[in-house]
Structure 1
């Protein structure tokens, strides 16, 4: 047998040995760390089993132990209720089972078995990896034709390294390549820049965050708009605002006009009541007795004419002093009902009796000499 096959078998045995002493599991999964011994057949009462976790070269903590015929599995608060012996540890299988793995469970484990002065142990390295948390996708930039848009993607937690990859999803939910104008940021793979946006850039984009434990995805919708459409929308909004303003102005003016009209109607009677009362005309009733002497009537005619002239002058001055007062107007029917037609005078007889004729200016019918 040549030396080459021997070296190959030796390297394979070393690899198998390393594979058996190193375990890698994903968080939330379960794992069993093997530990076999042959000391259970010696003395049952003196058997001791202990699992330790080395956090560092100087710090370690107990995970689970068996001593004095009793199992202690609550030594570590972080692993309490999640660790146990898998099988019949007294017969030789002291393997450790850990359920619902957490990142804090990762480290170097040592299994120590002691009985009747003899020792056996095993060293196992456990690696716990977390798949990326569901990433967050968002957009930065303007969704307008000719502009630039940045697609961002990031996971808050997960075992490094985490790789990011963007792809486009068509209407049939199939993955497609990004538009030719897109560029991936080398220093930050979670960022993709879409340049010179067009209507062809519109669509659904998906980000995939991946590491050795698994992957998670998120999606974002990109809708590119026409710049002209934006202007039309803005103009329409402005038009609506102006129209509403004009409508409110018209309504307000209408309300104010109605209020002003109602105010004027309410104030008109008050103004009439406040005006001065017009002077009343005193009517002279004709004498009902016709038995008076004609000489007395003729003699008093001159006197009444003089009095009427003075009265007329006084009324003229009064009217000029109070020009705003308008004498009450009477209808023709009312005047006829209140006034009596004066009797006709025989001027010939008056001349014979020695009366003197005096010319009297025309007066209103209400003040004629009887």
Structure 2
């Protein structure tokens, strides 16, 4: 019994020290994978628990299977040091204002393919913390193009297509209805790899606006497609109504013209501006030739000569 108690007393300081050291600094030796879109800014996380001990230095480097990995950035004695030979010159900085307060994350601006490598974050404390990260730089998806295959008429089968020409795989396509009841047709079939949406035997309720979104590990883009309502009676009524209105307008104009002419005729007849009783009928408008050539009379000295037709 006494031997057991003595053993506990001897082991307790070691257990206590071990517990304190675990609380003081978290160690994350596992490798993590991160993705970034080409031309964007990316932050490589490197947090640590800073409750005990002072930080000697914080160092970022990348692996080239060298004995001494090339330096990216180093914080030591409150001073920053950079490797002027690295292609990241002028594009790296610590994400936190004071990396010694537990956040040694690194931000890389305008990432390119040359930045695609494995990074090492080392925080020199007791014990030392090391974190390994792999960055992959990818081309984001381009603006997709939405199209319709087939005639969007009631009872027909149609296919909505969506294609992003640029962008690295894996690319995932999703479709959503963004108008009306905002629910895809019950029998709609979505191909998330090819980007198609097939709808069989479409109905009036299937018309509206649809949105396709293409996503990758580094971004997403969307396009919209508006499908007019098929075989809607109101559309035919609108055409018929337009024709009816046009015919009505013509008839009204004609009726107004006739009424106006009649009123004018009646007014002029009443005021006596025209005496329609003196106007000969059409058959008498053209006089005979004998009426046009009246008798001509003239005198010559002592005799009178008469010429008549």
| TM-score bucket of the superposed structures, by smaller chain | 0.3 to 0.5
User: RCO greater where, 1 or 2, for CA within 8 Å and sep 6 or more?
Assistant: 2
Question: If each structure's helix is expressed as a fraction of its own residues, which one has the higher value?
Answer: 1
TM-score, normalised to structure 1, is: 0.41
**Structure with bigger gyration radius:** 1
